[in-house]
Amino acid sequence: MFQNGKKAIITFCTTMIMVLILYVIIIIINFFTKNCVTKESIVGINPVIATKSVMIYQKPITVILEDKEKKKALQKQDSEEILQKTEEIKEKHIIEEKSQENFKVEANITSEGQTEESKKQISIEAVSEEIKQTKETKQFEEIQNVLVIEDKVFETIGKIEIPQTGVNVPILNQVSVEGMKNAPCLLYATGKLNQSGNNLIVGHNFRNGTIFSDNKNLQIGDKIYVTTLDGNKVEYTIYEKFVTTSEDVSYIKRDTQNKPEITLSCCTDDDECRIIILAKI
């Protein structure tokens, strides 16, 4: 009885050892053949394990192959787009070059088609316009909108020129003691300078040839030129000259018939009266 139990134990142990050896052999074979595992090769072990093993090994391979195909397709698409854009840029440059060439040809044809007479006329007109602009600029630059005297600033409204007496000075906008020492001033106006109405301009008689010192020598018919700050120059002609008292202001609001006129006023040499000069366009 004891011997039979001993035999049974030995037989069980031998069987287990054989099973373990077989399992180890199967594991070794599986390790060396895992890159080519198929469902059929391992189905004898366990159908469920076999199916899962095939899926585990095949899935990464399939994903890798799909990625490669996508990359190739994207690279091909990118190449086609680059080629298309390159062709569009080339065509654009060709069109621009042709347009420039056509413009140059048309310009040459236009230039060659001009007669010598028309070229001369254009040249004369250009020179005349340049001279005109130069004169206007020079005239405007000569007019100062302010007069600075010993750090004092006086606002001007234009200038007055009297060729007969050599006067060419600014006209100050307001009468002041300091201003009157250096320039004539606008005392009264029924209209804007060089526009319809009368403008009374007063200046000192310094008896030295400056400002209005020589107004006593002016005669009817002499010219006076007044230029405003915007460059509007008007020629006035003296049509009346007289001496009156300082209280007389009747000539100031005279009827100018809606035409520009100016009045010049200064003291006589004895300071007793006023020399009045009336001038109009």
Q: Does residue 32 fall inside a structural domain?
A: yes
Q: How far is CA 43 from the centre of its chain?
A: 84
Least confident window among 53-67, 79-93, 145-159, 170-184: 53-67
Integer Cα distance of 244 and 242 in angstroms = 7
Is 257 among the domain residues?
A: yes
Let me know whether 59 and 150 are in one domain. no
Question: Distances from the Cα of 268 to the Cαs of 135, 167, 172, in angstroms?
Answer: 38, 18, 22
pLDDT of amino acid 45? 43
Query: What pLDDT sits at residue 258?
Result: 92
What is residue 138's predicted lDDT score, i.e. its pLDDT? 40
Give the up-direction half-sphere exposure of residue 65: CA atoms within 13 A in the CB hemisphere.
5
Any domain includes 137: no
Q: What end-to-end distance do the CA atoms of the chain give, in Å?
A: 163
Structural domain includes residue 194: yes
- Rounded CA-CA distance 203/45 in Å is 132
Answer yes or no: do 172 and 275 share one domain.
Answer: yes
Determine the structural domain holding residue 45 and report its residue range. 26-72
Q: What is the pLDDT of residues 256-270, one digit of tens each?
A: 999 999 999 999 999
Q: Are 262 and 224 in contact (CB under 8 A)?
A: yes
Work out the burial of residue 41: count CB atoms within 10 Å of its CB; fewer than 13 is exposed, 13-18 middle, 19 or more buried. middle
Considering the domain boundaries, does residue 123 fall inside one? no
177 and 266 fall within a common domain = yes
Specify the range with the lowest mean pLDDT, choosing from 21-25, 119-123, 143-147, 212-216: 119-123
Residue 166: per-residue pLDDT: 95
Residues 146 and 68 in one domain: no
Question: Percentage of residues in the chain with pLDDT exceeding 90?
Answer: 41
| Higher pLDDT pick, 187 / 87 | 187
Close Cβ partners of 233 (under 8 Å, ≥ 6 residues apart): 139, 225, 226, 227
What pLDDT was estimated at residue 42?
A: 38
Chain centre to alpha carbon of residue 115: 39
Phi, psi dihedrals of residue 247, rounded to the nearest 5°: -80, -15
Q: Which residue has the higher pLDDT, 4 or 28?
A: 28
Do 51 and 146 share a domain, yes or no? no
pTM: 0.51
pLDDT tens for residues 9-67?
888 888 888 878 887 888 887 766 654 444 444 344 444 444 444 444 444 545 555 66
Question: Between 39 and 198, whose confidence is greater?
Answer: 198
pLDDT in the model for residue 16: 84
End position of a domain, from candidates 72, 103, 126 = 72
The pLDDT of residue 185:
96
Q: Does residue 181 lie within any of the structural domains?
A: yes
Q: Which residue has the higher pLDDT, 172 or 1?
A: 172
Question: Can you give the CATH number for the domain in which 232 is found?
Answer: 2.40.260.10
Give the pLDDT mean for 213-236: 96
Statement: residue 246 has pLDDT above 70 = yes
Q: Based on the domain organization, do 183 and 65 belong to the same domain?
A: no
Give DSSP secondary structure letters for the chain.
-HHHHHHHHHHHHHHHHHHHHHHHHHHHHHHHTGGG--HHHHTTT-HHHHHHHHHHHHHHHHHHHHHHHHHHHHHHHHHHHHHHHHHHHHHHHHHHHHHHHHHHHHHHHHHHHS-HHHHHHHHHHHHHHHHHHHHHHHHHHH--SEEEETTEEEEEEEEEEETTTTEEEEEESS--HHHHTTS-EEEEESS-TTSSEEEEEE--B-SSSSBTTTGGG--TT-EEEEEETTS-EEEEEEEEEEEE-TT--TTTT---TTSEEEEEEEE-TTSSSEEEEEEE-
Q: Mean pLDDT check: name the lowest of 115-119, 143-147, 189-193, 228-232.
A: 115-119
The number of distinct structural domains making up the chain is 2
Is 132 within a domain? no
Q: Is 197 exposed, middle or buried (0-12, 13-18, 19+ CB in 10 A)?
A: middle
pLDDT tens-digit readout, 92-129:
666 666 656 655 555 554 445 555 555 555 555 554 55
Q: Does some domain include residue 252? A: yes
Neighbours of 50 (CB within 10 A): 18
